[in-house]
Amino acid sequence: MNKFTFFILHNSSFIFSKCHLCVLCGLLLICLNGCGHVISHELRQQADKELTPEFLFKDPDTLKGKTVILGGIIVSSKNTNEGTYIEVLQKPLDYRGRPKVTDVTYGRFLIFSESYLDTAVYSAGREITLAGEVLGRQIRPLGEIQYSYLLIKGKELHLIEPHEGLPIRFSIGIWTTF
């Protein structure tokens, strides 16, 4: 092997390694981009981090004016002359601010938005995360009872798309997915 051949082989593996590193860094950046919180940094800074959903749902009238971040599954939405009300079944949030898939809940809450929100978009079954101001409680009928809803004025609403995130699938064989 002459000096020229050695130089080409040695440098091509170096370039090949740099290409791998560039591809790996690019993939890492793409993955990290999807891991950001759904609520803006500014509102996350304003939110009271010590305020747990359990305490919030127990006595919302004493917490009027506080900024909170909550999320869950939309139960219903309704447009009125005042604005739009969205009824949500609260769920714990993951580190990105998305509702977790769990049966754990502290109850239902209402999001109030002064602007018109299309009820076909903010429809039952959709996942939502919001940052908003605690307005207190509102009593409304729920089935045959009077239910005390936590009332939040929405400052920032984020609907979670069903296909967001990377689906994790495991399969064995042909056409079988777990």
CATH number of domain containing 48: 2.40.50.140
Residue 118 lies in a domain: yes
Per-residue confidence (pLDDT) for residue 122, from 0 to 100: 97
Residue 34 lies in a domain: no
Domain span at residue 75 reads 41-160
How do strand 84-90 and strand 108-113 relate by DSSP bridges? antiparallel
User: Which regions of the chain are under pLDDT 70?
Assistant: 1-35, 163-178
Residue 129 lies in a domain: yes
Do residues 99 and 92 lie in contact, with contact meaning Cβ atoms separated by under 8 Å? yes
* SS3 state of residue 122: coil
Residue 127 lies in a domain: yes
- Split into its structural domains, the chain has a count of 1
pLDDT tens by residue, 86-98: 999 999 999 999 9
Query: Would the pTM of this model clear 0.85, i.e. be above it?
Result: no
Residue 50 lies in a domain: yes
